[in-house]
Amino acid sequence: MNQQRYLLLTPGPLTTSPTVKAAMLVDSCTWDDDYNLGVVQAIRQQLVSLATTARDDYTAVLLQGSGSYAVEAVLGTVLAPQDKLLIISNGAYGARMAEMAGRMGIAHTLYDCGEVSRPAVEAAEQYLLADPAISHIAIVHCETTTGMLNPIREIAELAQRYRKGYIVDAMSSFGAIPLDVAELHIDYLISSANKCIQGVPGFAFVIARRAALAGCAGRSRSLSLDLYDQWRCMEDNHGKWRFTSPTHTVLAFAQALRELADEGGIASRHQRYCHNQQQLVAGMRQLGFTPLLEADQHSPIITAFRAPQHPQWRFAEFYQRLKARGFVIYPGKVSQSDCFRIGNIGEVYPADIAALLSAIKQSMYWLA
């Protein structure tokens, strides 16, 4: 069957290289040392090296499922019955953390600053001062609801000053934005295979401070999502997963890591994504579209644009017209604004952004 290929301009899954796809054409045994020692353990070591220079202090745990599975695994494994979590939220993914905490019976407080506002460090500090029971802080680095990049460095300083555990959902930023988890005193950083490393969906991962994770034995509220047990199994059995490993996805991820290194690492990928995003915004402005956020709030990951104020505008029709030209974009997720989103991560280059802008111009049916 012939299937049209689209350029995915989304925050993940995203467009992958032919060589990443080709890496999945090999079958692997989950018990075999060539797979566990040669692939899984190498991935774990590479992830820690990408995340910090303090490699002895951190470990990487891979977990089956989407990024949300890993977020839930962290919350359900890390927070003890006497602990309390401050969730800093300005979008759907901070709100999802609050829903997870509620479902698991984890004591938590939600600082919701609104979908188009950056969290204020002073306001977050007031929550800590008002409630000494708070033991951990959690925040989303890149909130793809709008594309906003949140102030994880400033919140890190707050967590350090008040001696709180620090959890960062870096789902859509890790691999694209340089950071050092040790420098930021991050205890748990969470991301996924199908984001800025440019792999395919199937597993997520947690880069954890060893000393913090070592104290989490027996805490998990789930069998499958027990991050501590998953870690111990991988540590004690040379990369073995407790349950069936998503082998093909793992092989694709190993290839994606090689391609990240070939590109020049995270700094070079960050530069490409920034160029993509700047070219996209400039071109969209020329076509009459206005970004939802101010320029200093943008991330290089995804950008929300306000919908045209025209009686003929229909996002569904616009989407289908672009799709017919080979481009897939994202609907809006901001509850108070009519908008849509365009991502620029993945195997996407300036020529692709130029082609997209040309396709958008051709799809502006409401001006005809």
Q: How confident is the model at residue 334 (pLDDT cuts 50, 70, 90)?
A: confident
Long-range contacts of 122-127 (CB under 8 A, 24+ apart): 124/86, 124/88, 124/155, 124/158, 125/158, 125/162, 127/86
Question: Average pLDDT, stretch 15-33?
Answer: 94
Residue found under tokens 């974009």: 329
- Buried b or exposed e, range 14-42, using 16+ CB within 10 angstroms: bbbeeebeebbeeebebeeeebbeebbbe
Q: By three-state DSSP, how is residue 62 classified?
A: strand
In the prediction, which pLDDT does 3 show? Answer: 62
Question: Average pLDDT, stretch 334-363?
Answer: 94
In the prediction, which pLDDT does 4 show? Answer: 64
Task: Give the H or E element holding residue 324.
Answer: helix 315-324
- How many Å apart are CA 231 and CA 60, to the nearest integer? 8
Q: Which two tokens stand for residue 43?
A: 């991935």
- How many Å apart are CA 26 and CA 24, to the nearest integer? 5
Q: Which of 129, 166, 163 is nearest to 151 (CA)?
A: 166
In the prediction, which pLDDT does 31 show? Answer: 86
Q: Which residues contact 32 (CB under 8 A, 6 or more apart)?
A: none
Q: Which residues contact 278 (CB under 8 A, 6 or more apart)?
A: none
Q: Which two tokens stand for residue 251?
A: 């092989």
Share of the chain above pLDDT 70, in %: 99
- Whole-prediction pTM: 0.96
In the prediction, which pLDDT does 366 show? Answer: 87
pLDDT tens digit sequence for 102-135: 999 999 999 999 999 999 999 999 999 999 999 9
In the prediction, which pLDDT does 1 show? Answer: 39
pLDDT surpasses 60 at 362: yes
pLDDT tens digit sequence for 39-87: 999 999 999 999 999 999 999 999 999 999 999 999 999 999 999 999 9
pLDDT tens digit sequence for 350-360: 999 999 999 99
Long-range contacts of 93-102 (CB under 8 A, 24+ apart): 93/140, 93/143, 93/144, 93/145, 93/169, 93/171, 94/138, 94/139, 94/140, 94/143, 96/68, 96/71, 97/71, 97/138, 97/140, 97/169, 100/68, 100/71, 100/72, 100/75, 100/76, 101/75
Q: Which residues contact 220 (CB under 8 A, 6 or more apart)?
A: 73, 76, 77, 226, 227, 228, 229
pLDDT tens digit sequence for 167-212: 999 999 999 999 999 999 999 999 999 999 999 999 999 999 999 9
In the prediction, which pLDDT does 335 show? Answer: 73
In the prediction, which pLDDT does 12 show? Answer: 86
pLDDT tens digit sequence for 261-274: 999 999 999 999 99
pLDDT tens digit sequence for 226-275: 999 999 999 999 999 999 999 999 999 999 999 999 999 999 999 999 99
pLDDT surpasses 80 at 2: no
